[in-house]
Structures are given as C-alpha cells and as structure tokens.
Amino acid sequence: MRPARSGTKAAALTAGEPMPGAQTTPGEPPRAEPLIELLAETGVERSSALGPARLGELLPVPLTEADADRIADYQRARGLRFGQAAVALRLASQADVDWALSQQYGYAWVREGEDAGSPELVQAHAPFDATAEAFRDLRAHLMNQPELARRALAVVSTRAGDGRSFVAANLAIAFSQLGANTLLVDADLRRPRQHALFGLQGKPGPSGVPGLPESSGLPGLADLLAGRGTRHMVRKVPHLPGLHVLPAGAPPPNPLELLQRPNLAVLLGDVVRAFDYVIVDTPAAAAGADARVVATACGAALAVARKDHTPMAALQDLADALLRLRAHLAGVVFNPA
C-alpha cells in the first residue's frame, strides 16, 4: 500500500466553509440527537500523551530497584542504552523494551497477547514494519493538504475486495497515534466490517436484510440516521487512546435512503467539530450510489485500488463522478495485497 506518486494525480482540494447543518422541515424523518452531545455523555476526552516516566517503570513487568541498579552499572560499563543493557542481561525482552519506549514517547500500539481486534490492523499490531510505514507516509500526504482541515475523509473504492475497510481502519489508527482524537465511522450500511476488525461486541440478531448474515447487534450509524441515538454508539478502542469507532449498526433495508437524509450532514458537522480527524468507510461503488453520497457529504475522498483487481476504467469513472459532485479527491492508494 502506498500513497499516490508519479502517474497518479491527487486532485487539489478547494477550501470551503464548514458544512452547514441541514434544516428539518415538516414531514422529514426525526433528526438524530446531535452526536457532539452523545460524545459528552460517553466521556470522550482529549487524548494526551503520558507524562515523563523511567523506562524501567513502563516495562510490562516493572524492574525491581536491585535490577535497575544492575542494569545501570552494566550500562555505564559497556556504554549502552538502558534498554540495550536490560536485554543483554535478560531482564527484559526486546519486545518489552520497544513497548516501554513507545509508552515513554506516547506512541500507542498493541502488544502480543492483548485482545485488540483483527491482525489486519497492522498499524496497531506491527507498527514498525513496512506496511505501517506506508500508512504513516499516507498520513503525511494527507496532512500536507490544508484544505482537508475541517472535513471528514471518505475512503472509497470501486468494488468489494479492494481493501477499502483495511485502509480506513489503519489510517484511523495512524492518525490516533499522533495523540489526536480520531473517529472512524463505518458508513457501509450494506456489509459493514469495522466492528469485526476492531472486535467490537454486541448482542447478535437479525440483520434486517434478507440474505445477509445476522447483525453484530451493535447500535450505530444506521440508528443515528433513523433518529435513534444512544450514549453507547461511539466506542473507545482498547489499547489505542484517542481512537473511537462509530459502527454501522444492523444493516437496514434502506441503506441509501438513510444516507441521503439530512441527518448525515448534521452528524458529520458534529463529529468534525468534536474530533481532530474523521475517517469514513463506505460501501463499494459497485453496490450503489452510497459511496458517492457519503463522499459528497464528507467533502473529500481517498480512493483505494487493488493491484490486479480494480479495473482502472472503473476507478477513473469513480474519480470523475466524485469530482462532478464536488467531492474532492485527496489521493489514490494502491493496495498491492
């Protein structure tokens, strides 16, 4: 996975005013309670890095005073860093030292054995490998576009299997690792994946759509768009401070109609004010107009294409459609997997 380079143009975004909230008129469906109020109820707080702490205190198994003194003596004698000395003396593993250093610098990731969702979340489980570095490169590419400020970013692709949900999830994690409050919204009301990727649990039940597997039971975006809001819809992600997920909810029988209601614009206006970064997953464009509707409401989109899977003609058609709808294309990501 890599951000757009030579041969792939990222359309320049035009600055715009924050999206105004839609007005409710007689006969419209009930408007969802402002999400910013729901966030206050759930206790969403500003993310902050850890304060200064000694490396030995941050290890999964804190060192005893005697062990710390032994490491310090070895460190001075050999001219090593504290962590190197601890590993050399077999008082800590390299993985433990990497974890402690990350905590010391406020860089959150998931240690082996911690229950934190799917292995597809490479930015959380393997933050030092090449794929994670590619997501950091993509993050920098997006942050260099000042026009993306005050906008949500829709992640779109032409067809299922392009890696759209994978990119959206890992990009959201990458932004949260800046110490920024980040919200990942699952707007794929047809076949949502984010709740499964992050291991979010609910009470399983019927999906509401014939032919689909049963729902996760988690309330989410579909409920908000239908005018039903609860304080438990936005989920904090364990072990990743600053990251929150708004799941899709049970797949409804009318996904496109829900997304076309004024509530979506109102909700996006709320979350853009409440969070530093908002990433929105969408259905494949081949499934219907949902992705185009969501991208237009967000104001910006990031397209995902998969090697040997995505037809380039279909990708060009999607990009052209987004530009016609004034949903500005922030870039194209090529997923080699």
Alpha helices by DSSP H, the chain: 35-42, 55-58, 65-78, 82-88, 94-104, 122-125, 130-143, 164-176, 194-197, 221-225, 255-259, 263-274, 290-298, 312-324
User: Tokens 């003609």 belong to which residue?
Assistant: 313
Q: Which amino acid is at 334?
A: F
End-to-end CA distance of the chain: 8
User: Tokens 């987004």 belong to which residue?
Assistant: 322
Residues listed for the chain: 337
> Which pLDDT score, from 0 to 100, does residue 9 have?
33
> Which pLDDT score, from 0 to 100, does residue 157 have?
96
Quick one: CATH architecture of 35-49+118-335? 3-Layer(aba) Sandwich (3.40)
User: Tokens 């995902």 belong to which residue?
Assistant: 304
User: How are beta strands 235-236 and 243-246 bridged, if at all?
Assistant: antiparallel
Query: Who contacts 43 (Cβ-Cβ below 8 Å, separation ≥6)?
Result: none
Domain map (residue ranges) of the chain:
35-49+118-335, 55-104
> Which pLDDT score, from 0 to 100, does residue 34 have?
60
Mean pLDDT by 10 residues, the chain (337 residues): 35 30 46 58 50 65 85 88 87 77 68 74 90 95 86 95 96 94 97 94 51 62 87 84 93 95 94 95 96 96 94 94 91 88
User: Tokens 């530093």 belong to which residue?
Assistant: 276
Question: Helix (H, G, I), strand (E, B), or coil: what is residue 256?
Answer: helix
**CA–CA gap between residue 298 and residue 285 (Å, rounded):** 16
Question: Helix (H, G, I), strand (E, B), or coil: what is residue 42?
Answer: helix
Give the H or E element holding residue 303. Answer: strand 300-306
> Which pLDDT score, from 0 to 100, does residue 7 have?
34
> Which pLDDT score, from 0 to 100, does residue 83 have?
85
Question: Helix (H, G, I), strand (E, B), or coil: what is residue 253?
Answer: coil
> Which pLDDT score, from 0 to 100, does residue 109 have?
67
> Which pLDDT score, from 0 to 100, does residue 41 have?
52
- In this prediction the pTM is 0.77
